Amino acid sequence: MSGTTGSTSVRPTDLKAVRDAVLDTAGPIAIAGAGTAADWAGDLDPVDTVLDTTGLTGVITHNPGDMTVAVRAGTPLRALQDELSPHGQHVSFDAARVADGATVGGLVATADAGPAALVFGSLRDLVIGVTIVLADGSVARGGGHVIKNVAGYDLAKVLHGSYGAFGVLAEVVLRLHPVPRASTTIALPCPLEGAGERAARILGGPYEPAALEWVSDDGGRLLVRLEGTRDALPARAERIRELLGPEAADTPDDVWERHAGLVRGSAEGAVLRIGARPSRLPDLLSRLRWRTATAGLGSGAATVELPVDAVVEAHGLVHEAGGTSVLRRRPDGAGLPGWGPPLSALAVLTALKRELDPEGRFGPGRFSPWIQGAP
Amino acid sequence: MTLDGVVRRAFEEALDPRDVICDEVRCRAYECDGLTGYRVVPELVLLPRDAAQVAAAVRVCAEHAVPFVARGAGTGLSGGALPVADGVVISLARLKRVLEVDPVDRLAVVEPGVTNLEITAAAAPHGLYYAPDPSSQQVCTIGGNVAENSGGAHCLKYGFTTNHVLSCEVVLPDGSLVTLGGDSGEQAGPDLRGVFLGSEGTLGITTKITVRLLRTPESVRTLLADFPSVTAAGDVVSDVVAAGIVPAAVEMMDTLAIEAAEQAVHAGYTLGTPAALVVELDGPEAECDVQFEQVKEICERHGCTRLHIAGSAEERAAIWRGRKAAFAAVGRISPDYFVQDGVVPRTRLAEVLGRIAEMGDEAGLRVANVFHAGDGNLHPLVLYSAAAGETERAEHLSGAIAELCVELGGSLSGEHGIGTDKACSMPKMFGEEDLETMRRVRSAFDPAGICNPGKVLPTPRLCGERPGRYRPHALEEAGVIERL
Ligand SMILES: Cc1cc2nc3c(=O)[nH]c(=O)nc-3n(C[C@H](O)[C@H](O)[C@H](O)COP(=O)(O)OP(=O)(O)OC[C@H]3O[C@@H](n4cnc5c(N)ncnc54)[C@H](O)[C@@H]3O)c2cc1C
The beta-strand segments (E) located in B186-344 are 205-212, 214-215, 219-227, 249-254, 275-283, 306-309, 336-339
Find the mean pLDDT for residues A283-299: 97
pTM over 0.80: yes
Domains, chain B, ordered by start? 5-91 (3.30.43.10), 98-215 (3.30.465.10), 218-332 (3.30.70.2190), 423-477 (no CATH)
> What span, in angstroms and rounded, lies between the C-alpha atoms of A253 and A183?
9
Domains, chain A, ordered by start? 1-179+343-375 (3.30.465.10), 182-259 (3.30.70.3450), 265-329 (3.30.70.100)
| Res. B335: pLDDT tops 50 | yes
> What span, in angstroms and rounded, lies between the C-alpha atoms of A242 and B35?
54
Cα dihedral B202→B204→B210→B216 (10° resolution): 20
- The pLDDT, as a whole number, for residue B465 is 53
pLDDT single digits (tens) A136-176: 999 999 999 999 999 999 999 999 999 999 999 999 999 99
Q: In what order do the strands lie in the sheet with B165-171?
A: B98-102, B107-110, B205-212, B165-171, B177-181
> What span, in angstroms and rounded, lies between the C-alpha atoms of A131 and A282?
39
Looking at this protein, which amino acid is placed at residue A179?
Answer: V
| Res. B472: pLDDT tops 60 | no
Q: Note if the bond before A369 is cis, omega within 30 degrees.
A: yes
Alpha-carbon distance A219 to nearest alpha carbon in chain B (angstroms) = 25
What is the per-residue burial (b if ≥16 Cβ within 10 Å, else e) of B239-278? bbbeebbbbbbbbbbbbbbbbbbbebbebebbeebbbbbb
> What span, in angstroms and rounded, lies between the C-alpha atoms of B163 and B216?
17
Query: Which residue of chain B comes nearest to A135, CA vs CA?
Result: B437
Alpha-carbon distance A267 to nearest alpha carbon in chain B (angstroms) = 24
pLDDT single digits (tens) A166-209: 999 999 999 999 999 999 999 999 999 999 999 999 999 999 99
Say if the ipTM goes beyond 0.90: yes
Q: Is B81 in the pocket of ligand 1 (CB under 6 A)?
A: yes
Q: Is B237 in the pocket of ligand 1 (CB under 6 A)?
A: no
> What span, in angstroms and rounded, lies between the C-alpha atoms of B310 and B119?
26
Which residues numbered 372-401 in B keep a CB inside 8 Å of some CB on A? 372, 375-377
Is residue B186 within 8 angstroms of chain A, CB to CB?
Answer: yes
- The pLDDT, as a whole number, for residue B157 is 93
- The pLDDT, as a whole number, for residue B470 is 45
pLDDT single digits (tens) B219-240: 999 999 999 999 999 999 999 9
Helix (H), strand (E) at residue B98:
strand B98-102
Contact B186 A232 (CB under 8 A): no
| Res. B478: pLDDT tops 60 | no
pLDDT single digits (tens) B108-140: 999 999 999 999 999 999 999 999 999 999 999
